[in-house]
Structure 1
Amino acid sequence: MPDTSTSSHGAHNPDFHPDLRKVARYMPRQVVTPVTLPVIRMVTRLQGKRTPADVEELTLNSGVKVRLFRPTGVPVPAPALLWIHGGGYILGTAAQDDELCRRFARQLGITVASVDYRLAPESPYPTPVEDCYAALTWLARLPAVDPQRVAIGGASAGGGLAASLALLTRDRGELQPVAQLLVYPMIDDRTVERRGLDNPGHRLWNQASNRFGWSAYLGEADRDVAVPARREDLAGLPPAWIGVGTLDLFHDEDLAYAERLRAAGVPCQVEVVQGAFHGFDGVLPKADVSRAFFRSQCDTLRQAFTDRY
């Protein structure tokens, strides 16, 4: 795996990917602060007020809400993906990823459930990951879903929760996801202690946001259990896909986790995108670099569903 950390971190003139250069100039380095959080939450909640016709919104017995995307004309039972949205553990809604979930469902002919887990600091660890677990067990029991072919995935904090969920399902032994899709996952709280990570190329999420998100999520939790990258035993986890840009705050922690997965015997595909900032594919989903990133995720899922068949 190429070590691209030196070429990006600490550089004064960020070398953005050509597809992202124009928009990167206008992207803020930090969006979330304790002051802006209530406003951003209000705006994101408004986004999810209307449910499109092709989306089913359901409330599970546990009280967790799920948005369901079902493919048409596909033989059942079909594979499924539990998707977990990002937002630094402190904001975001399942509705923000409607278009992405729709693309997964269409592209792969699978059922996709997007989980509206409860957010920190009101609901710190372990509530969000337990909400995801409740959604996963519910999804695996749907008549249209093949319980042997269910994958989990998420972006940013959602990627961190997907990694936590992979560990939880392994430890409980009730379900066996076929893959974990970790899209620039927020996976290691120790990054906040690192110096020299204030790179001018970072966008949307920087060290100050990271500090805020982790402290809200972890509360009084035992960090050695709550933080995926702190877990000592990674053996027996589902095969992983990890994707991250070189101008992402999580670049180093993600590649370190990938190395540890491989060392534990877990197959792990790594996709490093030169000059990409955090959340680039959400900001510019139609850019060639974002399409290739998404295609790589679909290829991994397709393979995982086929291997289990």
Structure 2
Amino acid sequence: MRDIALPLPLARAILGPMYRVSLHSRLPWRVQRALIDAGSALQPVPAGVEVTRLRLGGRPAERLSPRTPAATEPAAVLYLHGGGYAVGSLTTHRSLNGRLAVATGLPVYAVDYRLAPEHPYPAALDDAEAAFLELVTEHGYQPGRIAVAGDSAGGGLSLALAQRLIARHGHTPAALGLIAPWVDPNQLPERPRDLVVNGPWSRACAAAYLGAGDPADPGYAPLHGVLAGLPPVYVQADVDELLHPQCVDLTAALRAADVTVEFTESRGLWHVAQLQAALIGPASIALTEMADFLRQAVDQLPAGDLG
């Protein structure tokens, strides 16, 4: 299936009602998950990508490999999907991950981490940590040759993972690619909704993920964790989405901590429009920008990370 260049007004007209129905706080989580998975059928995996199922860190996972890899040495991307820690799956992000594999020339490992409310914090972070460590111990990747990327809740999870890897294991990933990251679930949105996310749903997700935990825990709200020492970070958000202010705050905090940051803002897209990169030209361009950032970072392996 070839890419389709939908006009942005048409895409918004289609996606808005779909998200309003599927991401509704009154729907059971299992129904939301089923609806989002079904909608992902419109987002094809690009040609030239091999999808291999495996287990990583004890969880179901996929390895999406480009048929023409760009790396001469082992390197990879670990991708953590979004969905408020309560929805989202390998299915919903397979198209995005396939396109990321093609654009980087690297295998992309996607992990089906445990979801809330059945598995509240820190289950998702524990699964992400186990997946990264297994890439190092069992798959032969050096920590500095693994980029970590994610969107929305998966973006916040990526940041929390990097902080934990540095603090617990002395492992610094090559880079972080964060698409509209949700880095502080405690913050209330300034507006009731954007095209994708609405306030009641986001509050329900935050409560489900927190469970009986401490909302001040930096693993839950990594914006307030240790930022110094992080690898280069790419942040992308649309100016009209609810998480844009958090992305601005994160970028400022990273720069204050002397972390290299590239912050790109789109206009006229929506929250994680990269999911529709096969259908929307500007979304494809935004995903390619992140891929270029990650590819460059992976190629610049520090000498101290070779052992």
Other structure's SS at 2:54 match: strand
Corresponding residue to 2:197 among 198, 205, 226: 205
Listed one character per residue, the Cα deviations across residues 21-78 of structure 1 (whole Å, up to 9, x for unaligned) are 2322341363231424221223456789xxx992221124x53111112334546532
Deviation at 1:235, TM superposition (A): 0.6
Structure 2: stretches of 5+ with no match in the other structure: 1-5, 303-307
Cα separation, partners in 2 of 1:47 and 1:175, compared to 1, 3 Å: farther
Corresponding residue to 1:71 among 66, 77, 84: 66
**Aligned equivalents of 1:153, 1:167: Cα separation in 2:** 14
Corresponding residue to 2:184 among 175, 180, 188: 188
Alignment of 1:1-309 (within 5 A): 19-26=7-14, 27-28=16-17, 30=20, 31-43=23-35, 54-60=50-56, 62-72=57-67, 74=69, 77-143=73-139, 145-192=141-188, 196-198=190-192, 202-225=194-217, 226-231=220-225, 233-283=226-276, 285-308=278-301
Listed one character per residue, the Cα deviations across residues 187-245 of structure 1 (whole Å, up to 9, x for unaligned) are 112322x5x4125xx112111111011011011222222211232x3111111100000
Alignment check: 8 A CA contact 1:90 1:213 kept? yes
Two-structure CA RMSD over aligned residues (Å) = 2.5
Listed one character per residue, the Cα deviations across residues 84-138 of structure 1 (whole Å, up to 9, x for unaligned) are 1111110111222222222222222212100000000111111101101111111
Amino acid at match of 2:208: A
**Aligned equivalents of 1:122, 1:105: Cα separation in 2:** 31
**Aligned equivalents of 2:273, 2:7: Cα separation in 1:** 10
- Structure 1 equivalent of residue 305 of structure 2: none
Alignment check: 8 A CA contact 2:103 2:288 kept? no
Alignment check: 8 A CA contact 1:80 1:146 kept? no
Alignment check: 8 A CA contact 1:149 1:177 kept? yes
**Aligned equivalents of 2:39, 2:274: Cα separation in 1:** 19
Listed one character per residue, the Cα deviations across residues 132-183 of structure 1 (whole Å, up to 9, x for unaligned) are 1111111233546444311100011111111111111111134220101110
Query: Comparing 110-119 with 63-72, which one deviates more in the overlay?
Result: 63-72
Other structure's SS at 1:177 match: coil
**Aligned equivalents of 2:28, 2:294: Cα separation in 1:** 36
Cα separation, partners in 2 of 1:63 and 1:47, compared to 1, 3 Å: farther
Amino acid at match of 2:62: R
Alignment check: 8 A CA contact 1:178 1:308 kept? yes
Deviation at 1:302, TM superposition (A): 1.7
Other structure's SS at 2:196 match: coil
**Aligned equivalents of 2:139, 2:116: Cα separation in 1:** 33
Other structure's SS at 2:164 match: helix
Structure 1: stretches of 5+ with no match in the other structure: 1-17
Query: Comparing 90-99 with 18-27, which one deviates more in the overlay?
Result: 18-27
Listed one character per residue, the Cα deviations across residues 226-265 of structure 1 (whole Å, up to 9, x for unaligned) are 211232x311111110000011110001110111011001
Alignment check: 8 A CA contact 2:121 2:210 kept? yes
Alignment check: 8 A CA contact 2:100 2:288 kept? no
